[in-house]
Amino acid sequence: MYVGVDYYPEHWPETRWALDAQMMQKAGFNVVRLGEFAWTNFEPAEGCYDFAWLDRALEVLARHGIRAILGTPTAVVPAWLAHRYPEVMVVDKTGQRRTWGVRKDTCYSSGVLRRFSQAITTALATHYASHPGVIGWQTDNEFGGSNDCRCPACQAAFQDFLRQRYGTLDELNRAWGTHFWGQIFRAWEEVPVIVDTNGQNPSACLDWQRFYSDQNVRYQGEQVQILRRLCPRHFITHNLMGLAPDVNYFNLARDLDFVSWDNYPVWGRPEVRYDAALAADLMRGAKHKNFWIMEQTAGPCGWGSFNRNVRPGELRAVAYQQLAHGADGQIWFRWRTCTAGREQYWHGLLQHDGKPNRRYLEAAQVAREYHLLAPLLEGLSVRAEVAMIYDYDSLWVTRFQGSFEGNDYREQLKRYHRALFRAGIGLDIISPADDFSRYKLVIAPELHLMPDALARRLEAYIEQGGTLLADVRTAVKDGTNLVHDRTLPGLLSSALGIAIPEYDVLADKAEIPLTQGFAGHKATLYTDWIKPTTAETVAGYDAWWLTDYAAITRNRLAKGIAWYVGTIGNTPAFYDGLIARVLADAGITAPLTPPPGVEAVVRSGQGRELLFLINHTEDCQTVPVPTGRKELLTGTTTATTLTLDRHGVAVVQLR
């Protein structure tokens, strides 16, 4: 079990390094991440490399039993590089070339940038390939975000991307529907960059987002190829950003040994960390493997101003939530709060003064506990019977053409994920290309883009005994973002046993009461006007113009069952009731039902099963648990209930 901190020896006098390493060792830390922003330190002038300072830092750390993950330092180019080769900088939507001075502001289509990136990666990998203190690499830092470039090189690369994707201009014109507004292309050179996703062709906007994502994947891939060749003993990972929407993480993860991610769930008032749980499940799903936390909340976060501090016990609870969801290594960001630069208020375990404090001691407690748990955790992960499809194409197209006001793809996923969280049910987040047959239940929120092949795979999954839950705006468009010329839900109509001849928005947050099995709940934002064919009506609308239509349906197909939800429920209780019924159909039960605000997650494997309980509230909580089991953090034996202090955690060995 690796536990540690992100460390920046270049920020501090060399005379301080030994004390830092000694304090880390005393806390039980055994790993640091280093160097991801140190390109200018490694290459102070073009082609002149200096690794001596990092060699000395690694030597100090090694004397205290601390090993290192090195970052390829390409997230911030040196000032000399941007000055001498200005073409490496991003051109923004207005056509203005960005001024050097931030981070992640370089163009991945630039041949100059790629050449220098490969050169520094090669130099680092060559120097540290056999270093005993180095165990792995992190590529770059947090791909995606601010480097969406519109320079001539990106336009040419986009045109090449489209040539490879569509082959001919005729096929591109068909796929984009360029007959609308007379936007037909007669030459590849006529294809522009996309600067206005609110006004330009929706199919072009989708392909631009795909292109941007693929540029990140390619840029990383060039570094990975070098690292694989020169450092075959080292693992390679990248610190993803959870639910960040700009890069397809399933694609980015392909070249990695495992993914890592940066977890900062503490901002406003204390609350249940639903989003951190969803992000962790997505990170585990990116490769169907356990993951690492490469940056984790260590104190108040902020750039211009800082948010609240972690409360006593909260830092530990944040860490245990990720351990429960499959984290096999955790690193706090950062060791010591910086006195200079943009992140002066992004606090580490230590304050600016560098002295041991409450957060340091709490992190040390976590490290001690993790090392005690490590033998039992090896080979364990979340073994889920439920999967939820996360489709980046549907996410992207609904960002720039949302169908109805208030529609948010990620919020739709959260509604179901949170209901499963409250029910004590673990799940996997999977891509549309994954194998559905591994799961008893597949939840497919708003699969807006529905290529025919995906529809057929979902239908086959139901026929073979699976339970599917689909909902609003399913199968609206094809794989190129053109609207299907079929009655909704298109090719899934037979499997779902419904037709949707019309639909409507509920403007101004209006609500309509539901009937039958969901009486007492209300529909909001949107309504599908569902006509059941073979499906049974589970709920209808209590509105005079909708009395002939269903709101929620359930259909038997061969060995399986398909649910369709044609609206948005107005409360979490709606989704709790829905998920309870769907889980019953799928034959899935929770090991226990936690009280509100308590999370229950099971990691299993190797003949062992550990139940993690995390109290996200500031009240003591009593949790029903199996009797006669060992609680591993205290060494006690469970009775019928277990009490968790505020922000308390427990780990119960079920078998």
Residues with active-site annotation: 142, 295
Q: Are 322 and 333 in contact (CB under 8 A)?
A: no
Sequence-distant (6+) residues with CB within 8 A of 232 are none
The one-letter amino acid code at 514 reads L
The answer to whether the CB of 51 falls within 8 A of the CB of 58 is: no
Sign of CA dihedral 167, 171, 172, 175: negative
Cα of 125 vs its chain's centroid, Å: 28
Taking the C-alpha atoms of residue 171 and residue 162, their distance in angstroms, rounded to an integer, is 10
How, if at all, do strands 260-263 and 636-637 pair?
unpaired
CA-CA distances (angstroms) from residue 267 to 271, 299, 417? 9, 10, 21
| 167/248 Cα distance (integer angstroms) | 23
Contacts of 13 (CB under 8 A, 6+ apart): none
Euclidean distance between CA atoms 343 and 295, whole angstroms? 14
Judged by phi (left if over 0) then psi (alpha if -120 to 50, else beta), residue 558 lies in: left
Angle at 527 between CA 523 and CA 530, to 5 degrees: 115
Q: Assess contact for 291 and 634: CB atoms under 8 A.
A: no
Give residues with Cβ within 8 angstroms of 574, minimum separation 6: 518, 521, 522
**DSSP-based three-state secondary structure for 438:** helix
User: Cα–Cα distances in Å, from 265 out to 37, 325, 422, 618, 645?
Assistant: 23, 15, 18, 16, 20
Between the two ends of the chain, the Cα-to-Cα distance in Å is 21
Q: What are the angstrom distances between the C-alpha of 573 and each of 218, 263, 419, 522?
A: 44, 28, 8, 10
User: How many C-beta neighbours within 10 Å does residue 372 have?
Assistant: 14
Give me 26's structure tokens: 């005393």
Host H or E run for residue 417: helix 409-423
Return d(Cα 140, Cα 220) in angstroms, integer: 8
- CA pair distance 652, 465, nearest whole angstrom: 33
Structure tokens at 224: 């990975």
Q: Which residues contact 55 (CB under 8 A, 6 or more apart)?
A: none
Distance of CA 53 to the CA centre of its chain: 35
Q: Residue 124 contacts by C-beta under 8 Å, 6 or more apart in sequence?
A: 35, 42, 51, 70, 72, 73
HSE-up of residue 589 (Cα within 13 Å, Cβ side)? 2
